[in-house]
């Protein structure tokens, strides 16, 4: 390749790389693998190495580079970067509208609503199309020059789109938000944990911290993303909506969750809609921004203090709150696991009152340095059980006390063991009352024998009165056994016996799950049932055979293998059989052979577990995670984050009606 050919090739490579970058990082559309793209970048890098005279500032190779800075230069903003006033209720939104209407009497207001991303505000300056400066908000008037770090964000173009029909000559300034997706945040934290390093409390702080690093390699290693929404330079826009449109045309990423509304009632509907979608979005939001759409009116309304009058941030109920740890107690699970939890001074989080939060295990308490008496941040997001994020050390009085994991079981006094390399401590007493109780509760739970009317209190009584010693005894209970118990009338005793007897035979996957083998949850039980279709085959399988099941790893295979080698468990299986409990052998059909399904949200016509079983029964696969190989994502009521993931991967998404058609029900 001669020099001229190299020059041509470099130009072409830059164009192609930029084209795919835009599709992937701005439009969320993947049309080339990351590996292929890396390969192109590598070729470009090598050519530029050889012919450095052809390197341009907008070359994709210029995103990460240069030596770490000694300090950030200060940047004066051409107009102040404002922060917004907050509203915490619809009433406060109405009051805001009333206030501004008084200032512009007789004017017709329309509004624009957009997401309030939990990110870090930045400003970009382009000159003749080329990105020349990126800055933080700072104090609103003066920020820091973080151009090097912002260049590492692939959704930010180094050069504006030249064929949008918009004149990009001169200086163009715009503002937006830099943030981390939930997925990337989790990835970074799990890597931190693996290295024994500090866990970050929230994506916002991590995004901010990444942008304020002097070495741009750190920002580059964290896959930050961006949305832009405010065009400072006058390019002819008359409304805020047009700012979004122009920014999008220039090649930057804008949020698709925006809506122009004629009044606040419409805004309210849109806010409610997005509050429901909140947990399924791939990034964190903490509310919505409501803006007066007409820019003339914005100018007339002006600014009060550091906040504009023409916009307001509507905040969703906080998913975090602070409260005090009154005590740390232990709960015992069916495998004997001792799980510490915090007893809290009741506090409202995300709309409900929380008085307990999990602390996971002793290592976690130590790592987070949580003490009894601490004021802590508690978090409750979506369906996830409340957890303690971190203590606020500055509020300690010195009277806080350390928590020590008990060395004897608080329930039975048996010894507590913690095998080397495991984080979970367990009660070693197989006859521990708590273990027995949890085992029975598991056995009758929805995913297992699904027996109604057996609450915790009744299970405790049955065990205390020696009416049962393990779950298999449930099937031998008579009305006469139950009647003497507290709060049991003749009729309810008869009902319970009837309900137990009607559930003697269940599907194989439910039966496997009911056994309560460690690490075998509903999903794994389904996989095993699918693969072996017979409990005896599982029982006689080697660890190697078990590992052949897709989705079963070393740890699970070992746990299953050992369970079936324990004489006590074999006795238990025999006893179940003797009492008439077992599973129904099913002949599977092949209707859905080769097709895989994931269900997200709840279905109106049957429980999710049942639907998954039906899929398996018809020869299909029901898996838990969304990947590009997935055939269908079935979406029910209140779908989780799987929906967004499936959409981004281009997986086919179907609703209940379509799903029923496929199942032929």
Residues 6+ apart with CB under 8 A from 628: 649, 650, 651
Q: Are strands 142-144 and 596-600 parallel, antiparallel or unpaired?
A: unpaired
CB-based burial label for 658 (10 Å; 0-12, 13-18, 19+): middle
Q: Closest CB to Zn ion among 281 and 411?
A: 411
67 among known catalytic residues:
no
Residue pointed to by tokens 């295990």:
361
Closest separation in Å from C-beta 333 to Zn ion: 11
Q: Point out which span in 51-59, 111-119, 367-375, 428-436 binds Zn ion (CB under 5 A).
A: 428-436
Which regions of 453-595 does DSSP assign to beta strands (E)? 505-506, 582-583
**According to the binding rule CB under 5 A, does residue 427 interact with Zn ion?**
yes
Closest CA to 439 of 411, 472, 464: 472
Query: Is 432 known as a binding-site position?
Result: yes
The full length of the chain comes to: 665
Assigned token pair, 253? 């990423």
> Cα–Cα distances in Å, from 34 out to 31, 40, 474?
9, 10, 56
Q: Point out which span in 148-156, 249-257, 363-371, 421-429 binds Zn ion (CB under 5 A).
A: 421-429
Q: Closest CB to Zn ion among 410 and 551?
A: 410
Closest separation in Å from C-beta 516 to Zn ion: 16
Residues 522-541 that bind Zn ion (CB under 5 A): none
Closest separation in Å from C-beta 336 to Zn ion: 7
Do 617 and 526 form a contact (C-beta atoms < 8 A)? no
Query: Is 137 known as a binding-site position?
Result: yes
Alpha-carbon distance 358 to 383, whole Å? 14
Query: Is 427 known as a binding-site position?
Result: yes
Alpha-carbon distance 659 to 665, whole Å? 9
Q: Closest CB to Zn ion among 456 and 637?
A: 456
Q: Closest CB to Zn ion among 412 and 633?
A: 412
Q: How many residues bind Zn ion (CB under 5 A)?
A: 7
Q: Closest CB to Zn ion among 243 and 438?
A: 438
Closest separation in Å from C-beta 338 to Zn ion: 8
**According to the binding rule CB under 5 A, does residue 338 interact with Zn ion?**
no
Q: Point out which span in 35-43, 124-132, 422-430, 513-521 binds Zn ion (CB under 5 A).
A: 422-430
Closest separation in Å from C-beta 542 to Zn ion: 33
Q: Which of 295, 409, 512, 552 contacts Zn ion by CB under 5 A?
A: 409
Q: Which of 176, 414, 471, 636 contacts Zn ion by CB under 5 A?
A: 414
Q: Closest CB to Zn ion among 11 and 417?
A: 417
**According to the binding rule CB under 5 A, does residue 411 interact with Zn ion?**
yes
Residue pointed to by tokens 């907008």:
58
Query: Is 84 known as a binding-site position?
Result: yes
**According to the binding rule CB under 5 A, does residue 333 interact with Zn ion?**
no
Q: Closest CB to Zn ion among 382 and 413?
A: 413
**What letter would DSSP give residue 109?**
P
Q: Point out which span in 105-113, 227-235, 425-433, 512-520 binds Zn ion (CB under 5 A).
A: 425-433
Site string for Zn ion, 614-643 (x = CB under 5 A): ------------------------------
Closest separation in Å from C-beta 227 to Zn ion: 52
Closest separation in Å from C-beta 339 to Zn ion: 13
**For 654, what's the count of Cα atoms within 13 Å in the CB-facing half-sphere?**
18
Closest separation in Å from C-beta 486 to Zn ion: 24
Q: Long-range contacts made by residues 13-18, C-beta under 8 angstroms, separation at least 24?
A: 13/40, 13/43, 13/44, 13/47, 14/44, 14/56, 14/58, 14/59, 14/60, 16/40, 17/41, 17/44, 17/60, 18/60, 18/157, 18/159
**According to the binding rule CB under 5 A, does residue 444 interact with Zn ion?**
no
Pure H helices in 257-368: 264-277, 295-301, 362-368
Alpha-carbon distance 192 to 196, whole Å? 6
Q: Which of 292, 432, 451, 615 contacts Zn ion by CB under 5 A?
A: 432
Site string for Zn ion, 151-180 (x = CB under 5 A): ------------------------------
Q: Closest CB to Zn ion among 386 and 516?
A: 516
Assigned token pair, 602? 């709840």
**According to the binding rule CB under 5 A, does residue 337 interact with Zn ion?**
no
Q: Point out which span in 145-153, 266-274, 430-438, 571-579 binds Zn ion (CB under 5 A).
A: 430-438
Q: Closest CB to Zn ion among 129 and 336?
A: 336
Among residues 116, 253, 510, 621, which one is catalytic? Answer: 116
**What letter would DSSP give residue 290?**
E
Residues 6+ apart with CB under 8 A from 434: 332, 336, 409, 411, 412, 427
Strands in 120-127's sheet, in edge-to-edge order, are: 130-136, 120-127, 171-179, 225-231
Q: Point out which span in 86-94, 150-158, 431-439, 499-507 binds Zn ion (CB under 5 A).
A: 431-439
Pure H helices in 214-310: 216-221, 240-249, 264-277, 295-301
Q: Closest CB to Zn ion among 355 and 415?
A: 415
> Cα–Cα distances in Å, from 145 out to 67, 160, 207, 315?
15, 20, 16, 30
Q: Point out which span in 40-48, 291-299, 405-413, 516-524 binds Zn ion (CB under 5 A).
A: 405-413
Closest separation in Å from C-beta 432 to Zn ion: 3
| Dihedral over alpha carbons 28, 269, 317, 304 (to 10 degrees) | 90
Dihedral pair phi/psi, residue 144, rounded to 5°: -110, 145
Query: Is 456 known as a binding-site position?
Result: no
Question: Residue 636, Cβ neighbours under 10 Å: how many?
Answer: 18
Query: Is 315 known as a binding-site position?
Result: yes
Query: Residue 278: helix, strand or coil by DSSP?
Result: helix
Query: Residue 354: helix, strand or coil by DSSP?
Result: strand
Q: Is 128 left (phi over 0), alpha (psi -120 to 50) or beta?
A: left
**What letter would DSSP give residue 60?**
G
Q: Closest CB to Zn ion among 331 and 638?
A: 331
Closest separation in Å from C-beta 372 to Zn ion: 22
Closest separation in Å from C-beta 414 to Zn ion: 4
Q: Point out which span in 92-100, 247-255, 379-387, 404-412 binds Zn ion (CB under 5 A).
A: 404-412
Q: Which of 150, 290, 297, 412 contacts Zn ion by CB under 5 A?
A: 412
> Cα–Cα distances in Å, from 339 out to 357, 365, 370, 459?
11, 11, 15, 21
Residues 6+ apart with CB under 8 A from 415: 407, 408, 409, 427, 428, 429
In sequence order, what DSSP letters do the residues of 402-464 get, joined into one string? -----SB-TTT-PBEE--TT-S-EEE--TT-HHHHHHHHHHHHSTTTT--TT--HHHHHHHHH
Active-site annotation, residues: 116
Q: Contact positions toward Zn ion, by CB under 5 A?
A: 409, 411-412, 414, 427, 429, 432
Annotated binding site for NAD(+): 83-84, 114, 137, 177, 315
Annotated binding site: 83-84, 114, 137, 177, 315, 409, 412, 427, 432
Binding residues for Zn(2+) are: 409, 412, 427, 432
């Amino acid at each position: 390749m001669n020099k001229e050919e190299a020059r041509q090739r470099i130009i072409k490579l830059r164009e192609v790389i930029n084209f795919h970058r835009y599709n992937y990082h701005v439009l969320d559309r993947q049309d080339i693998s990351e590996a292929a793209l890396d390969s192109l970048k590598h070729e470009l890098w090598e050519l530029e190495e050889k012919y450095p005279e052809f390197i341009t500032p907008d070359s994709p190779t210029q995103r990460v580079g240069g030596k770490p800075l000694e300090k950030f230069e200060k940047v004066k903003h051409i107009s102040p970067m404002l922060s917004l006033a907050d509203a915490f209720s619809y009433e406060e939104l109405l009051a805001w509208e009333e206030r501004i209407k008084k200032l512009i009497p007789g004017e017709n207001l329309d509004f624009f609503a957009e997401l309030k991303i939990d990110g870090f505000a930045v400003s970009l300056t382009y000159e003749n199309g080329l990105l020349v400066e990126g800055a933080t908000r700072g104090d609103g008037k003066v920020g820091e020059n973080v151009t090097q770090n912002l260049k590492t964000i692939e959704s930010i173009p180094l050069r504006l789109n030249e064929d949008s029909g918009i004149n990009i000559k001169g200086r163009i300034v715009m503002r937006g938000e830099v943030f981390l997706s939930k997925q990337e945040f989790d990835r970074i934290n799990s890597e931190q944990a693996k290295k024994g390093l500090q866990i970050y409390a929230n994506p916002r702080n991590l995004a901010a911290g990444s942008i304020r690093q002097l070495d741009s390699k750190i920002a580059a290693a964290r896959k930050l993303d961006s949305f832009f929404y405010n065009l400072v330079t006058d390019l002819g826009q008359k409304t805020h909506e047009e700012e979004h449109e122009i920014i999008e045309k220039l090649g930057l990423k804008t949020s698709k969750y925006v809506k122009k509304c004629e009044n606040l009632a419409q805004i309210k509907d849109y806010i409610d809609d997005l509050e429901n979608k909140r947990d399924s979005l791939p990034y964190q939001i903490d509310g919505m921004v409501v803006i007066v759409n007409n820019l003339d009116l914005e100018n007339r309304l002006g600014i009060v203090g550091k906040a504009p009058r023409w916009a307001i941030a509507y905040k969703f109920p906080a998913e975090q709150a602070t409260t005090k740890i009154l005590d740390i107690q232990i709960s015992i699970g069916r495998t004997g696991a001792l799980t510490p939890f915090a007893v809290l001074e009741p506090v409202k989080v995300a709309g409900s009152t929380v008085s307990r939060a999990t602390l996971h295990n002793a290592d976690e308490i130590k790592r987070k340095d949580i003490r009894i008496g601490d004021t802590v941040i508690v978090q409750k997001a979506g369906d996830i059980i409340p957890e303690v994020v971190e203590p606020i050390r500055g509020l300690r009085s010195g009277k806080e006390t350390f928590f020590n994991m008990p060395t004897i079981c608080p329930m039975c006094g048996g010894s507590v063991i913690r095998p080397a390399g495991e984080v979970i401590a367990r009660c070693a007493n197989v006859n521990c009352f708590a273990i027995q109780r949890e085992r029975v509760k598991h056995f009758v739970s929805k995913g297992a024998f699904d027996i109604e009317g057996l609450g915790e209190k009744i299970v405790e009584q049955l065990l205390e009165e020696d009416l049962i010693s393990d779950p298999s005894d449930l099937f031998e209970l008579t009305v006469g056994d139950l009647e003497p118990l507290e709060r049991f009338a003749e009729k309810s005793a008869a009902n319970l016996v009837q309900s137990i007897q009607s559930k003697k035979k269940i599907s194989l996957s439910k039966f496997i799950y009911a056994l309560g083998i460690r690490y075998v949850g509903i999903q794994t039980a389904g996989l095993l049932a699918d693969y072996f279709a017979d409990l005896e085959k599982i029982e006689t399988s080697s660890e190697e055979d078990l590992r052949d099941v897709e989705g079963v790893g070393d740890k699970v295979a070992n746990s299953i293998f050992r369970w079936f080698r324990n004489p006590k468990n074999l006795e238990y299986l025999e006893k179940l059989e003797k009492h008439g409990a077992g599973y129904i052998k099913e002949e599977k059909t092949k209707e859905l052979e080769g097709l895989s399904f994931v269900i997200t949200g709840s279905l109106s016509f049957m429980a999710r577990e049942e639907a998954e079983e039906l899929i398996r029964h018809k020869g299909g696969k029901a898996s838990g995670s969304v990947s590009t190989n997935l055939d269908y994502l079935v979406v029910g009521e209140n779908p989780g984050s799987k929906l967004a993931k499936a959409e981004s991967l281009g997986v086919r998404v179907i609703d209940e009606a379509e799903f029923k058609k496929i199942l032929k029900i």
